[in-house]
Amino acid sequence: MRVVGPICAGRSQAEQIGKVTTEILAPAPADVDRLFDEAVAIEERSWKGEAGTALAHDPHRAAFYRQYAHAASRAGVLRMCFLRVADRAIAMQIAVEQGGGFWLLKVGYDAEFSACSPGLLLMRETIAHAAGRNWPATNFWAGPSPGPSLDRRGTTNRLAPRLPYALRGLAAFTLDAAAALAARWRKS
């Protein structure tokens, strides 16, 4: 698949720094703490660290996410995703993969590498991973956030592309598109 635009430019910039690799891991419970700590450190180096909203600044939320990550790992649904440049992790996602969906719980990137768009580069790879699962629909959800949104109008913080791979998926895609058009029409 040929990629053009900002993601391609970001990847080219990252490759000038070093080898770019992506990891989508289903960690064993024994590996969760190490990977979780790495993810929290990446998030701390983003705008979330500066704003004081990173998990590193909220021990109660961090403990909840850590405990949830352990439970999800034991259930076999936890996914810890990393984008690395020259073996340095510069973007992360903590997610669960279940019910025909890839559910993002936490995302973050190292602001030092923001010119490379590391969060978008990792998102592209996890979308490709999810598309390869041949689910009837794939949902990405990161929940509400006070930070930047993929929706430039700021009306939503949900990224929910539905990728139709079967008749059911195509029907869901059509219904979603019709609902989105109707909502836009009502607002105008």
Diameter of the chain by CA atoms? 53
Residue 91 lies in a domain: yes
- The pLDDT of residue 151: 40
Residue 171 lies in a domain: yes
Residue 1 lies in a domain: no
Residue 178 lies in a domain: yes
Phi-psi region of 163 (alpha: psi -120 to 50; beta: other; left: phi over 0): beta
pLDDT tens column, 131-176: 787 766 555 554 444 434 334 334 333 444 444 445 555 555 566 6
40-67 b/e with 16+ CB inside 10 Å = b? Answer: bbbbbbbbbbeeebbbbeeeeebeebbe
Residue 106 lies in a domain: yes
Say yes or no to pLDDT of 46 above 50.
Answer: yes
Spatial distance between the Cα atoms of 70 and 30, rounded to a whole number of angstroms: 9
Residues 94, 71: contact at Cβ < 8 Å? no
Instruction: Kindly give the residue spans of alpha helices, DSSP state H, lying in the chain.
Output: 6-17, 29-44, 47-51, 59-75, 118-131, 167-187
Burial class (CB in 10 A: 0-12, 13-18, 19+), 99: exposed
Residue 32 lies in a domain: yes
pLDDT tens column, 118-130: 888 888 888 888 8
Range of the domain at 89: 6-187
Which candidate, 176, 101, 103, 98, places its Cα nearest to that of 137?
101
- The pLDDT of residue 21: 81
| CATH number for the domain harbouring residue 110 | 3.40.630.30
Query: Tell me, what amino acid is at 52?
Result: G
pLDDT tens column, 68-114: 999 999 999 999 999 888 888 989 999 998 877 788 889 999 888 77
Q: Which residue has the tokens 């869901």?
A: 172
Spatial distance between the Cα atoms of 119 and 117, rounded to a whole number of angstroms: 6
Residue 114 lies in a domain: yes
Query: Tell me, what amino acid is at 109?
Result: Y
Three-class SS of residue 105?
Answer: strand
Share of the chain above pLDDT 90, in %: 31
pTM, full prediction: 0.68
Say yes or no to pLDDT of 16 above 50.
Answer: yes
Residue 129 lies in a domain: yes
- The pLDDT of residue 26: 96
The mean of the pLDDT values for the chain is 75
Where residue 36 falls among pLDDT bands split at 50, 70, 90?
very high
Sheet-wide strand order for 20-25: 20-25, 78-85, 88-98, 101-109
Domain count, the chain: 1
